[in-house]
Structure formats: structure tokens, C-alpha cells
Amino acid sequence: MPQPLLPALNSTVSQLTAEFDLISPERRQLLGELTRFIKEKVLLHKRVYLNFICTHNSRRSHLAQIWAQAAAHYYNIPNVMCYSGGTEATAFNSRAVKAMQEAGFSIVMKEEGENPVYEVRFASGAEPVISFSKKYDDPFNHNKDFAAIMTCSHADENCPLVLGAATRIALTYDDPKHFDGTPLEAVKYAERVHEIGREILFAFSRVNT
């Protein structure tokens, strides 16, 4: 039985899980690789380490990391630890933060600066996700026996070797950054948040089947 999330997030998740039929067969095949990695670790009663990687660790990798941690809670899948990183560090983009808040996540800035640290909550009583931009091999992340999930094509093409990864999955998404400062900015960020959420929820929904 699904576990409760924050009320606004519950509403978004109900919408996204009703839209699984929008996911193409090609994407389902890629998402199946993520499902299999999680399932194999769960069956062996091992921790599941996922590291979502994008060039700047500013948008898509954070969105996917946060959705994955929320999905693990929602589907009651134990011992899932989600991280994100880049080939360089910048900052968790404020537009992406806002879009996730609008989806129902509670996000509070805990440390200000050029690379702020955010506390992201998705359910009462659950440990928050600590989000800030970092390289994928930063000591904050778990750096062995993890799934490296490449969320942008640039990082996938330019980072052929991810040290410590047990497997590598190219689950890439279009960058909402292209719409920064345009009338479509909010719409495109919301689209990406929903697309990533829908697909990550789909992958986790298949773990216990």
C-alpha cells in the first residue's frame, strides 16, 4: 500500500501515476533497467545507492534524485539512498526549486551563498533530502556499488567512465534551461518536473511486482 506524502505532493503523485500510459515503450525499456537494479538489491537485502548525474548538477539531476527518494518512500521500498552530482558543481537552480515546490515538495534554504543548501521534505516523519550542487564523486555522495543514472545527454557523452558505479543508465531529459527568461519558463519547468516524476514513479512502482 502506498505510503502518505505531503498533501499537495500526494495530489501531484495521484495525477502522475494515472498517466503511466503516456510513457513510451522505449522509455519503459530504459526505466526497466532502473527497476531491475533496485529489485536485485532489495532481494539481496542490500542498500540501494542511486546517483543521478548531470553536467552542472543544477536541474534535472536534482529533480530525479528528489523524486526517487520520494518514490522509494511512497512505494515502501527500504534502504534506498539517492544522490545527485555533476561533472562540475554550480547551484541547484532557483527555477527548479520553485517548480518542485509547486509540485508539492517542501523546500527550505538552510545555507545561503552561491551554492545554497536546501532541505527538501516529501513526507511527515521521513528524512529530508539535503540538496546542493556537487560533483558526482563528492565525499557527500556514496561512491561505490551505485547506479549512475545519466540525466543529461552531455554528461552521458562526455563522462564515459563513472568511477565506482556498478551500472550505468542513460535516462536523459531535455533541459528546461533553454526556456529561462522566456514566457514559457514556468510551463517548461513544470513539464520537466512532471515528466521526471512520472517516469521515476513508474520505475519504482514495478519493483515489488
Q: Which of 172, 197, 151 is nearest to 19 (CA)?
A: 197
Going from the N-terminus, what domains does the chain have, and what CATH number goes with each?
7-205 (3.40.50.2300)
pLDDT tens sequence across 97-137: 999 999 999 999 999 999 999 999 999 999 999 999 999 99
DSSP secondary structure code for residue 124 in this structure = T
pLDDT tens sequence across 59-106: 999 999 999 999 999 999 999 999 999 989 999 999 999 999 999 999
Q: What does pTM read for this prediction?
A: 0.96
Residues 75, 79, 80, 82, Cα dihedral to 10°: 140
Q: Which of 83, 31, 13 is nearest to 206 (CA)?
A: 31
